[in-house]
Amino acid sequence: MFLGEAAIYIVGVPWFALSLHVSFSSALSLGFTPFLLGDTIKAGLSGLALPTSRRLIERVTRR
């Protein structure tokens, strides 16, 4: 998940800067920083959910 988010930001932030005609640092503060906390929480929750979902699938398929 982290690599996907990184790819989106690597392409998206420079494109955002070019389309709005702002500096790269402004694009970071407008198009990266506000979403960083939410993306971190999303990645953490999915990391916690993965082992639980694997155990649930194993339990269901054993029946």
The pLDDT score that the predictor gives to residue 56 is 87
Q: Give the separation between CA 25 and CA 14, rounded to whole angstroms.
A: 10
User: CA-CA distances (angstroms) from residue 9 to 1, 3, 17, 37?
Assistant: 13, 10, 12, 14
One digit per residue, pLDDT tens: the chain, 63 residues? 788 899 999 999 999 999 999 999 999 999 999 999 999 999 999 888 988 888 888 888 887
The pLDDT score that the predictor gives to residue 55 is 87
User: How many domains does one find in the chain?
Assistant: 1
Indicate the pTM of the whole model. 0.70
Find the domain containing 34 and state its range.
Answer: 2-62
Q: Using H for helix, E for strand and C for coil, what is the string for the chain?
A: CHHHHHHHHHHHHHHHHHHHCCCHHHHHHHHCHHHHHHHHHHHHHHHHHHHHHHHHHHHHHHC
